[in-house]
Amino acid sequence: MKRLKKIWAWIDDRSGFTEIFMPLIKHPVPPGSKWSYVFGSATLFCLVLQVITGVALSLLYQPSSSEAYKSLQFITNDAAFGNVLRGIHYFGASGMIIMVSIHMIRVYITAAYKYPREMTWISGVILFFMTIAMGFTGQLLRWDSNGVWSSVVAAEQLGRIPFIGKWAARLLLGGDTIGGHSLSRFYSYHVFIIPAIIFLFVGYHLMLVIRNGISEPAKVGRLVDPKTYRAWYKQMLVEKGIPFWPYAAWRDVIFGAITIISIILLAIFIGPPKLTGAPNPASLNANPAPDWYMLSIFSLFALMPPKIESYMIIIGPALTILILLALPFVSNKGERHPLRRPWAVFGSVCVIVFVFSLFLLGERSPWSPAFEAKPLTAKNVHSTDTTVIAGSVLFYKKGCLYCHRINDQGGFKGPELSDVSLRLSPADLTIRIVNGGSNMPAYGGILTKKELNTIVAFLNSRNSK
């Protein structure tokens, strides 16, 4: 033991470990920094988990447009613990996005971005968007049909950038079309370029945390005054500060460990997302949808008025980034406590409700045609009239059932028609079908008069659930 201690003393003396790191590890933090402070470190734990599992996945993955899908199948079905590894990386990404979001909301609600922590906030905003970018590029690396088509969707969004849109789309895909360069690029974005930016800003973010200290818990009536804050904070640490390790860090470790264990359990019991079809851009039976953290934006694209959408696809994200970056410049002093900043709390709640509602809508995707719809069952037609039955068949064949619901069958895009005859007369129905509407094709040029009358007869028989 004595010998080991001696060896460690030599290593420590020559490496400077204690001298360099102990002041950092044991730096004083304000008292009362409790459980609401654990989300930043939990994000960092998730990042470390992502790096480790990402490196492991890279040992098995083939970053080539022609081979990536096969290697994903190998990882999922054949490699030892490959499926769990994929699962950890997937849920780790989800965990990181959840933790960074909660961390950001906590910092906003308690106004911890105010003087002198403006740059900590700005680097945090950059890290937030880089985390989302990592999630999205990671989804593309699955390189199944969903990955291929999602990359086209991303290129289309970049295409809306004024003047340089087409170039940006080309740069993303590595050419005019999906091809050999596409996956190599996504791999480089996901494995080298974005992580390099993340490492840079995580280092900077942590350096600022050490330099400016973590924000003290907000107190009603205690204002941030840039003229006196630094001196006050320094004095407060001298008088009341407690060493970060272990008196504050234990909460970070416990919460971080729970987060990591939860991610691993989810990976084992739920597993990674199933792979869709092969990455064939000529196979059109794909239904591209992003992973859950991008689903709210995907929903927004369906719900925005088409006239402003092309503009909002670019202006929306640009404005969001600008507002977040401008925040500490607009308000960098004064009250920090949420009770004295009710609009900040209200705004945060609104954003959370808005994003969560869009997510729930995205899960249901009522705007998408229900291609999986089957012909109406006899129970749902509930008629022996041959015209009505023929109308029900046409209702399916002409695609009406993709968007309209009859009892428990059909889509959600248009109004439910189970009892439409109680609302609309045959003449009204005919006008609607022939002329269509803002969200319905005009079937006047598609149906023959006989077909139209048959469908109207069917709909006119819809008078109960």
Partner 1 sequence: MNKEDDDIKKEPENEQRRSFLIKLSLGLSFLSAAVAGVPVLAAIFAPLIEKTPKLWRKVGELNSFKVGTTNLVTFENADPEKWSGVTSKSAAWLRRDEENKFTAFSANCTHLGCPVRWEADAHLFMCPCHGGVYYKDGSVAAGPPPKSLVQYPVRINKNAIEIQTSAIPITNISA
Count other Cβ atoms within 10 Å, centred on residue 195: 18
Choice between 54 and 411, CB closer to partner 1: 411
Window 209 to 268, contacts with partner 1 (CB under 8 A): none
Supply the minimum distance, in Å, between the C-beta of residue 309 and partner 1. Answer: 6
Supply the minimum distance, in Å, between the C-beta of residue 253 and partner 1. Answer: 41
Choice between 170 and 340, CB closer to partner 1: 170
Among 58, 235, 283, 425, binds partner 1 (CB under 8 A): 283
Task: Find the part of the chain contacting partner 1 (CB under 8 A) among 128-136, 180-188, 196-204, 217-225.
Answer: 180-188
Residue (of 95, 371, 399, 456) closest to 260 by Cα position:
95
Choice between 46 and 294, CB closer to partner 1: 294
Among 9, 24, 171, 352, binds partner 1 (CB under 8 A): 171
435 near partner 1, rule: CB under 8 A: no
- Structure tokens of 114? 């105010």
Residue (of 248, 286, 285) closest to 41 by Cα position:
248
149 near partner 1, rule: CB under 8 A: yes
Choice between 45 and 136, CB closer to partner 1: 136
Task: Find the part of the chain contacting partner 1 (CB under 8 A) among 173-181, 202-210, 258-266, 328-336.
Answer: 173-181
Nearest-5° Cα angle at 367, 176 to 394: 105
Among 234, 397, 423, 450, binds partner 1 (CB under 8 A): 397
Among 155, 208, 263, 429, binds partner 1 (CB under 8 A): 155
- 37 near 251, Cβ under 8 Å? yes
356 near partner 1, rule: CB under 8 A: no
Among 42, 183, 209, 388, binds partner 1 (CB under 8 A): 183
- 328 near 113, Cβ under 8 Å? yes
166 near partner 1, rule: CB under 8 A: yes
200 near partner 1, rule: CB under 8 A: no
HSE of 216, CA atoms in CB hemisphere, 13 A: 20
Cα(110)–Cα(32) distance, rounded to whole angstroms? 14
Task: Find the part of the chain contacting partner 1 (CB under 8 A) among 82-90, 164-172, 235-243, 378-386.
Answer: 164-172
DSSP-based three-state secondary structure for 29: strand
Is the peptide bond between 116 and the residue preceding it cis, with omega within 30 degrees of 0? Answer: yes
Window 314 to 353, contacts with partner 1 (CB under 8 A): 314
Cα(248)–Cα(246) distance, rounded to whole angstroms? 6
Choice between 81 and 167, CB closer to partner 1: 167
Q: What are phi and psi of 113, to 5 degrees?
A: -80, -5
Task: Find the part of the chain contacting partner 1 (CB under 8 A) among 146-154, 243-251, 253-261, 417-425.
Answer: 146-154
413 near partner 1, rule: CB under 8 A: yes
Residue (of 86, 190, 170) closest to 130 by Cα position:
190
Site string for partner 1, 74-113 (x = CB under 8 A): ----------------------------------------
Residue (of 141, 143, 142, 173) closest to 156 by Cα position:
173
Task: Find the part of the chain contacting partner 1 (CB under 8 A) among 60-68, 120-128, 234-242, 375-383.
Answer: 60-68
Task: Find the part of the chain contacting partner 1 (CB under 8 A) among 127-135, 149-157, 336-344, 381-389.
Answer: 149-157
Supply the minimum distance, in Å, between the C-beta of residue 116 and partner 1. Answer: 27
* Burial grade of 453 (CB within 10 A; 0-12, 13-18, 19 or more): middle
Site string for partner 1, 440-459 (x = CB under 8 A): xxx--xx-------------
Q: Going along 179-244, which residue ranges are E strands?
A: 242-243
Cα(399)–Cα(403) distance, rounded to whole angstroms? 8
Q: What is the DSSP-derived secondary structure letter of residue 382?
A: -
Window 362 to 381, contacts with partner 1 (CB under 8 A): 367-369, 371
> How many binding residues for partner 1 (CB under 8 A)?
73
Supply the minimum distance, in Å, between the C-beta of residue 339 and partner 1. Answer: 41
Supply the minimum distance, in Å, between the C-beta of residue 297 and partner 1. Answer: 11
Cα(50)–Cα(90) distance, rounded to whole angstroms? 9
Cα(87)–Cα(75) distance, rounded to whole angstroms? 11
159 near partner 1, rule: CB under 8 A: yes
Q: What are phi and psi of 365, to 5 degrees?
A: 40, 60
Question: How many residues appear in the chain?
Answer: 465
Task: Find the part of the chain contacting partner 1 (CB under 8 A) among 90-98, 176-184, 334-342, 382-390.
Answer: 176-184
181 near partner 1, rule: CB under 8 A: yes
Is the peptide bond between 226 and the residue preceding it cis, with omega within 30 degrees of 0? Answer: no
Is the peptide bond between 246 and the residue preceding it cis, with omega within 30 degrees of 0? Answer: yes
Cα(122)–Cα(326) distance, rounded to whole angstroms? 9
Task: Find the part of the chain contacting partner 1 (CB under 8 A) among 17-25, 107-115, 264-272, 310-318.
Answer: 310-318
Cα(443)–Cα(191) distance, rounded to whole angstroms? 50
